[in-house]
Amino acid sequence: MNSFPIRIGTRGSKLALVQAHEVRSRLMAAHGFSESDISIEVISTSGDRIQDRPLSEVGGKGLFTREIEEGLLEGRLHMAVHSSKDMATDLPQGLYISAFLPREDVRDVFISRSGAKLADLPVGAVVGSASLRRQALLRRLRPDLELIIFRGNVQTRLSKLQAGAADGTLLALAGLNRMNMADTATEILDPISFPPAPGQGAICIESCLANERIAELVAPLSDPATSLALTVERSFLAELDGSCRTPIAALATPKNGKVQFHGMILTPDGSQMFEAFEQADEGDAEVLGRATARKLLAQAGPEFFESWVP
């Protein structure tokens, strides 16, 4: 049987590679595989190639996964390693998330060239981010700042910052931790006033529903608390029909058989924000996400999304 090596598909950024190597290490530890049993295949995606426009204009999250998912469906890849926050809620037919790894730090960090914290940046300073969520949250905290689009992988964004394209930027602490670059951060942002994207900090493995062998191999890597949190956050996102046009923040925290949830939606300019803090039994994770979404939609009213969709 042509079952080795197991082929893991990943994007080629440094963060993506670190994550794929983490999955390989965990598979080796769980099953006694050697390095040569698992190959890491770098796949270039449309999302990686289009750098100059906001994601919302070019087709959203699916762009970073399309070519990798084709590889899974065609059997060239056995599993794909992703950042959960980059994953759409509806996956192509035949694919599913077979494991969520233990979650890293969920928080965002602010990084400034001068070392000034967000609150201490001079009036009118320039901050680069491509994330609508980060832009909207920033506008609430610092309406005076000038926001510019900062795309590309973590290294690209940090070099743009160093080159003076902006005075500051925002990144996920999880990615910096994984690359041993946490000392780059100027300030860790409070997750109540600056909540993360749904799925932030959680690596996931995507594979074919039909491939039971892969399901068995990845099962020991799955972290129940992370899966629970991600069920809430992703059902919240799905109910909101979240695209990259909608600033959405979500953080679920499992605790003693319950799960606490903070969900938020904003207008891109940050002028309107609706949030809820809810709790449910862990068996009701999916309902919690969906019910919180409907509650916020009801508060926001029917024009909330329509009013600013181009």
> Is the CB of 85 or the CB of 142 nearer to ligand PBG?
85
Let me know if 207 is exposed, middle or buried by CB neighbors in 10 A (0-12, 13-18, 19+): buried
Residue from the set 10, 200, 227, 267 that interacts with ligand PBG by CB under 6 A: 200
- Name 186's Cβ contacts closer than 8 Å, sequence gap at least 6: 109, 110, 111, 112, 115, 116, 117, 168
Q: Does 105 contact ligand PBG by CB under 6 A?
A: no
Angle at 162 between CA 159 and CA 167, to 5 degrees: 120
> Is the CB of 14 or the CB of 140 nearer to ligand PBG?
14
> Is the CB of 19 or the CB of 211 nearer to ligand PBG?
19
Q: Does 132 contact ligand PBG by CB under 6 A?
A: no
Q: Which listed range, 29-37, 39-47, 83-91, 231-239, lies at the site for ligand PBG (CB under 6 A)?
A: 83-91
Q: Which listed range, 79-87, 117-125, 143-151, 282-290, lies at the site for ligand PBG (CB under 6 A)?
A: 79-87
Angle (deg, nearest 10), helices 285-300 and 224-240: 30
- Is residue 108 annotated as a catalytic residue, yes or no? no
Residue from the set 83, 98, 169, 231 that interacts with ligand PBG by CB under 6 A: 83
| Alpha-carbon separation of residue 52 from 95, 134, 151, 152, 268 (angstroms) | 30, 18, 7, 9, 19
**CA 273 to mean position of chain CA atoms:** 21
**Are 11 and 86 spatial neighbours (Cβ–Cβ below 8 Å)?**
no
Q: Which of 37, 48, 52, 86 is catalytic?
A: 86
Q: Which residues bind ligand PBG (CB under 6 A)?
A: 83, 85-86, 154, 171-172, 174-175, 200-201
Q: Would you name the residues annotated as active-site residues?
A: 86
